[in-house]
Amino acid sequence: MANNVPITVAHGDGIGPEIMDATLHILKEAGARLDIETIEIGEKVYNSGNTAGIAPESWESLRRTKVFLKAPITTPQGGGFKSLNVTVRKTLGMYANVRPCVSYHPFVKTKNPVMDVVIVRENEEDTYGGIEHRQTDMVEQCLKLISRPGCEKIVRYAFEYAKKNNRKKVTCFVKDNIMKQTDGLFAKVFNEIAPEYSGIENESWIVDIGAAKLVDTPENFDVIVMPNLYGDILSDVTAQMTGSVGLAGSANIGEAVSMFEAIHGSAPRRAGQNKANPSGLFLGAIMMLVHIGQQDIATLAHNAWLKTIEDGIHTYDIAREGTTKETVGTKEFGEAVVARLGQKPETLKTVEYKVIEESGETATKPLYNQPIQAKKDLVGLDVFIHWWNGKFFGAADELGPLVERVNGDGVKLVMISSRGTKVYPGGQPDTFCVDHWRCRFMSDTDGGTLTKQQVISLLGRFEENGLDFIKTEHLYNFDGKAGYALGQGQ
């Protein structure tokens, strides 16, 4: 008999304790081999003055067990409190958020009867770094950071997930026609890694039309990998398309620690009424069992759950006339699943989780590689300034000559843009401008490079000329290739 696996459990807030009790009851009766350490997170911890919502000693439990089964928590309203989910995910490097979204037609009402889609969302990067600044009276900025190892990790994970779960296709959603560098890198890494998985079909869509197709014909999708923001939005959309967000579980996978949960929140208004559906957390727990190598228990419990849904034993949220035979409470739903352990669904697809022995050819490849260091040449500087003459149109014709004054020392102005669109020289009178301007400088010899000293003296001339610079971005060539985008219209 295999040893018990230590896991950390948090019962959470609102409906959390009830759905966790029901979930743990099923796992126990199914024979899950677990040693449970319980930690406190959420409302109580926040209210004790800890703005992170998790006590320092709880981190130790997570680092020790490396597996976290977490019920939803209530994030107190008002400023100062940090999202515990984001804190835990980012602190422990949980780079992949995995959400299987399955329709249980005809037993759960849905507009999309044929649907079995897994969203693999990048979980650490993109605009979710929260690196934001107010730059002028009119303009706020959020930095979108995408790294090569970050892309390699998530894309590799998506293909390995597809391989291990006998999935046929991985689709990539990006907006690389607009964000040619950030989303462009994501797409490039996808195209590099995809050919390594010859048995798995791959395709890419621009996220807007891809999302439209996903909503229209979900049956054509299998695994979909995407950057953080698109994944955040589309994983909720996809879960809702199955008929209820209350039915979806979620895994947050890290290299060391992983976390499993329901995708819904703590539903405080339903708390303490024995009404909530424990299925989302339960299906999160099934992913946990597979993660820790208890495929046998996962198969047993998941099939019993499918049979329960098929038998029309439903909690209030999915109960409908015609499909529901009995509306039950949280506890009774858990009992109904336990009573069906050993049974399989008749109409819905039976699940079977297999242990995959990895060796030789089939071994998992390294998640990411060391960066190759390129030759980096400084070829220009974007100087952002705060300047306003009261005009939303045509102001650049006045600003241009003022900025031309700082030319010199081998550096010259080549363009001014407003929110990315070129407005000087030769701008259009119809371009709407605000008080935030990017002034692009390059060497005055064709293809020449700049020194940091030239940059410093250029900024000195901005100051001497009373131009309020608020930020700079260096323009680099990497191995001779431009590492910066042109202005729109440049």
Binding site for ligand NAD (CB under 6 A): 15, 19, 72-75, 85, 246, 261, 264-270, 276-277, 280, 317
118 or 283, CB closer to ligand NAD? 283
Specify which residues 94 forms β-bridges with. 254
14 or 218, CB closer to ligand NAD? 14
202 or 324, CB closer to ligand NAD? 324
Residue 249: name the closest of 97, 427, 76 by CA. Answer: 97
Contacts of 421 (CB under 8 A, 6+ apart): 431, 487, 488, 489
Q: How far is the CB of 265 from ligand NAD (least distance, A)?
A: 2
Token digits for 57?
């000693």
274 or 472, CB closer to ligand NAD? 274
Residue 382: name the closest of 420, 410, 408, 409 by CA. Answer: 420
269 or 481, CB closer to ligand NAD? 269
Q: How far is the CB of 276 from ligand NAD (least distance, A)?
A: 4
**Cβ-count burial of 77 within 10 angstroms (0-12 exposed, 13-18 middle, 19+ buried)?**
exposed
Q: How far is the CB of 15 from ligand NAD (least distance, A)?
A: 6
224 or 263, CB closer to ligand NAD? 263
Question: Containing H/E element for 273?
Answer: none
Cα atoms in the Cβ-side hemisphere of radius 13 Å centred on 468: 8
- The DSSP result for 9-53, as a single string, is EE--STTHHHHHHHHHHHHHHHT--EEEEEE-BSHHHHHTT-TTS
Q: How far is the CB of 129 from ligand NAD (least distance, A)?
A: 20
Q: How far is the CB of 269 from ligand NAD (least distance, A)?
A: 6
Q: From start to end of 256-353, where are the E strands?
A: 258-262, 313-314, 326-327
Q: How far is the CB of 306 from ligand NAD (least distance, A)?
A: 18
Q: How far is the CB of 122 from ligand NAD (least distance, A)?
A: 18
Q: What is the DSSP letter of 432?
A: B
276 or 381, CB closer to ligand NAD? 276
Report which residue type is found at 382.
D
Q: What is the DSSP letter of 129?
A: G
Contacts of 303 (CB under 8 A, 6+ apart): 343, 344, 345, 350, 351
Q: How far is the CB of 97 from ligand NAD (least distance, A)?
A: 11
What's the rounded Cα separation, in Å, for the pair 317 and 247?
A: 10
Q: How far is the CB of 59 from ligand NAD (least distance, A)?
A: 17
What's the rounded Cα separation, in Å, for the pair 432 and 89?
A: 40
24 or 385, CB closer to ligand NAD? 24
Q: Are 298 and 289 in contact (CB under 8 A)?
A: yes
What's the rounded Cα separation, in Å, for the pair 271 and 68?
A: 22
Residue 109's CB is within 10 A of a number of other CB atoms, namely 18
Region of 479 on the Ramachandran plot (φ > 0 left; ψ -120 to 50 alpha; else beta) = left
Q: Which residue is nearest to ligand NAD (CB)?
A: 265
Q: How far is the CB of 270 from ligand NAD (least distance, A)?
A: 5
Q: From start to end of 110-222, where are the E strands?
A: 116-122, 132-134, 140-142, 169-174, 201-206
75 or 299, CB closer to ligand NAD? 75
281 or 442, CB closer to ligand NAD? 281
74 or 417, CB closer to ligand NAD? 74
What's the rounded Cα separation, in Å, for the pair 177 and 181?
A: 9
Q: How far is the CB of 88 from ligand NAD (least distance, A)?
A: 10
43 or 176, CB closer to ligand NAD? 43
Q: How far is the CB of 278 from ligand NAD (least distance, A)?
A: 7
Residue 10: name the closest of 57, 47, 48 by CA. Answer: 57
